[in-house]
Amino acid sequence: MTDYAGAEASLWAYTVPKRYVGAALADDVSCDVAVIGAGFTGLRAALELAEAGTNVTVLDSGGVGWGASGRNGGQVNPMLPVFRPDDLLKAVGPTYFERLASVSLGSADALFDLIRKYGIDCDARQKGWLRVDHCAKARDTARKGAKLWMEYGADFEFLEGDEVRRLSGSPIYDSAVMARKGGAVQPLALVTGLAFAAEKAGARIFERTAVGAMARGEDGWVLDCGTHKVRAAQVVLATNGYSGAVRPDVMRVILPVTTTQIATDSLPDDLYDTLLPEGHTIADTRRSIMYSRREPHNRFVYGGAGASGRDGTPRGFDALRRDAQRIYPQLKGVKWRWQWGGKIAVTEDRVPRFMEPEPGLLVGMGYNGRGVAMSHVMGKVLADRALGAPADSLPFPVSKPDPMAFRRIQALGKGIAITAMQMMDRYEMRAGA
């Protein structure tokens, strides 16, 4: 059975209908494309490549869904975490703005279509997503941003007052952007279904196979996986928040940040009925973000920024339980049966990165906690590029790793920077700033 380590403690590991069971690499392998990382990004790329007749091999040091893809909140969000179109325009320029706006606003529909196409049993629900504002300044930005995004075709609505409190089930928030295309999936079931689909299309998937080093020779890439090697003409690196020393230049472009979740067991009907009564998913605008959703059997899931211990395990669950009770006072005294966490990859401008550090090495990552839908966009783009799509035809600008990324946070220290963000959130919420 796949070892899900930290993810094993999740509600998703408990409710996943079927698990993927794969072998570790036990021989040398040669292929057209090697994909490092068996999460949404890597497996979506592998699925597209295998369907196009490419000989593709997927390698993961844990297993299918071991990273964020098997542990996340399962919220399908049809937008990048860039609140105003002009910020995205500034980050990527007019050509890529048009393309990125279009693929990100269409990303939720595209994902639900994919789930239907492959018949993936992952409790997919498209009932809409609420992004609620934690302070007056956020409300202002959201109101203006929603109006502008609607001019680019976003199916958004700006809501205020009692309707927000009714739909959220929380007395805390006064305003929200409703994104009707949003929804939810059981993430571990989705990534597992994707693995089965990729394998059926011809991809080979190896679990418990860490790539320790990679080098480019005359005939392509050689990946060192301990006792065995994988040779490939091209490599797709899809390791996101779990990127390690295999490419230190890529690691500098993203900041891995831990986020944690807790889930209740079955709640009484009269309590459960007050929480997100119309089945929306919800997230707020805090830097240390809250996100939650309801589940079958009257369960409720609540997430937020956490912390990692020295051993890398997620921490901060007591603070998360306190936060849940502050946002939803009716949850006082409930028993939280599950707790787990994982790592997201943050970029400086909140825009995902498509990089080609060297010929034949394609890298896609940096979804800033909004990767459930966008990683599928990226996976397809990685496959298109590996199949020969011109660099200037893609929705993402192709970049090289930026050696200056996160200089300020590196100088401050990541832990201090995150604590500072949480303090600013608390101040803004109290002051209604």
Ligand X SMILES: Cc1cc2nc3c(=O)[nH]c(=O)nc-3n(C[C@H](O)[C@H](O)[C@H](O)COP(=O)(O)OP(=O)(O)OC[C@H]3O[C@@H](n4cnc5c(N)ncnc54)[C@H](O)[C@@H]3O)c2cc1C
* Nearest approach, Cβ of residue 87 and ligand X (Å): 19
* Nearest approach, Cβ of residue 260 and ligand X (Å): 6
The enclosing H or E element of 27 equals: none
* Nearest approach, Cβ of residue 420 and ligand X (Å): 21
Tokens representing residue 123 in the block: 């409790």
In order of 32, 71, 84, 91, 244, the CA distances from 96 in angstroms are: 29, 30, 15, 9, 29
SS3 at position 343: strand
* Nearest approach, Cβ of residue 268 and ligand X (Å): 26
* Nearest approach, Cβ of residue 309 and ligand X (Å): 15
Please say which residue, 47 or 174, places its beta carbon nearer to ligand X: 47
* Nearest approach, Cβ of residue 365 and ligand X (Å): 6
* Nearest approach, Cβ of residue 39 and ligand X (Å): 2
E strands along 29-88, which residues? 29-36, 56-59, 75-76
Under 8 Å between Cβ of 62 and 209: no
Residues 380, 370: Cα–Cα separation, whole Å: 16
Please say which residue, 4 or 174, places its beta carbon nearer to ligand X: 4
The enclosing H or E element of 89 equals: helix 85-105
Residues 47, 28: Cα–Cα separation, whole Å: 22
Please say which residue, 167 or 194, places its beta carbon nearer to ligand X: 194
Neighbours of 391 (CB within 10 A): 11
Please say which residue, 129 or 328, places its beta carbon nearer to ligand X: 129
**Interface positions with ligand X (CB under 6 A):** 36-42, 59-62, 66-69, 71-75, 77, 210-211, 238-242, 244, 246, 259, 261, 291, 303, 341-344, 365, 367, 369-372, 375
The residue nearest ligand X at its CB is: 371
* Three-state secondary structure readout of 365-393: ECCCCCHHHHHHHHHHHHHHHHCCCCHHH
125 DSSP assignment: B
* Nearest approach, Cβ of residue 58 and ligand X (Å): 9
Please say which residue, 147 or 287, places its beta carbon nearer to ligand X: 287
* Nearest approach, Cβ of residue 236 and ligand X (Å): 11
Residue with tokens 């105003």: 84
Please say which residue, 92 or 230, places its beta carbon nearer to ligand X: 230
DSSP-assigned letters across all residues of 163-222: HHHHHH--SS--EEEEETT-EE--HHHHHHHHHHHHHHTT-EEESS----EEEEETTEEE
Please say which residue, 74 or 401, places its beta carbon nearer to ligand X: 74
Under 8 Å between Cβ of 48 and 71: no
Please say which residue, 77 or 422, places its beta carbon nearer to ligand X: 77
Which strands, in side-by-side order, build the sheet including 129-132?
156-160, 175-179, 129-132, 281-284, 290-295, 299-305, 255-264, 336-346
Please say which residue, 30 or 136, places its beta carbon nearer to ligand X: 30
